[in-house]
Chains A and B, each alone.
Chain A
Amino acid sequence: MAVRVQVEDFDAGVEIAKLRRGDRGVGAIAAFVGTVRDVNDDAPVTGLSLEHYPGMTERALESIVDEAKRRFDIRDLLVVHRVGALAPGDQIVLVIATSAHRRMAFDACEFAMDLLKTEAPFWKKERLTDGERWVEARASDDEAAQRW
């Protein structure tokens, strides 16, 4: 399964081992892990709740994985994204790309994250010391996705 949306935490080491298992053509593995910061826009963040659009989320992630496989000469690509209640320091998202040589693995990993940030239907709501707020999308994320 190339994409997973789950409440549970993930172990990047275990996922890397699974993704490369049995493929001796792999010479490079690039992985990205996104985590919850304890501050955003100068305000202390005590937690996050991550909402998604069941039914569309997996399809959007699969489409990103398919596009990455079409564009880059990679062996495999995995995307895992968590939903639900998260605390500062918790892991949110994992992307792993395997390829013969490093450049394709780095590029595929970055491409998948840039598209995920602008196309996958997830929304973060931050818990602050004095209430909650929906995280606003950043223009820099749109620019990052457009360069591909």
Chain B
Amino acid sequence: MRDSTSTLVSIRLVYLARLREAFASGGETLELTTEAPPTVATVVDTLRQRGAPWTTELAAGRVVRYAVNHRLARADQPIASGDEVAIFPPVTGG
């Protein structure tokens, strides 16, 4: 039983480019139970707890970009159930 103050959110995660290869996955569904309103940073913290390669690729010093529902987002952006959260290296097109 969840207590009344916690929130359960289910999001779709997408990994791209170098991170897709490092995680050997194009994405997954992630369920989070949090006390505070969840943000992109909540997701990243959850992934970091898995150990390598998550810990190393998402380490504080590594530059990683995020998008929520196909728009660039910062780590402090709130997320909600059903959101698509993408995690990727800085872009290199053009």
Contact = CB atoms under 8 A, between A and B. Distances in A.
Interface string B72-94: 10000000000010101111111
Nearest to A95: B94
A51 B91 contact: no
A53 B93 contact: no
Contact of B17 (A113, A116, A123): A123
B92 to A, nearest CB: 4
A134 B18 contact: yes
B92 A135 contact: yes
Contacts of A46: none
Interface residues of A, number: 27
B70 interface: yes
Contacts of B88: 53, 121, 123
A interface secondary structure, majority: mixed
Interface string B11-48: 00010111000000000000000000000000000000
Most buried by B among A51, A123, A124, A134: A123
Contacts of A120: 91, 93-94
B92 A121 contact: no
Interface of B: 14, 16-18, 63, 67, 70-72, 84, 86, 88-94
Given A50-B93, A81-B94, 9 more contacts: A53-B86, A53-B88, A93-B94, A117-B93, A122-B93, A123-B17, A134-B18, A136-B92, A137-B91
13 contacts: A56-B70, A59-B70, A60-B70, A92-B93, A93-B93, A120-B91, A120-B93, A121-B91, A122-B92, A123-B93, A134-B92, A136-B90, A137-B91
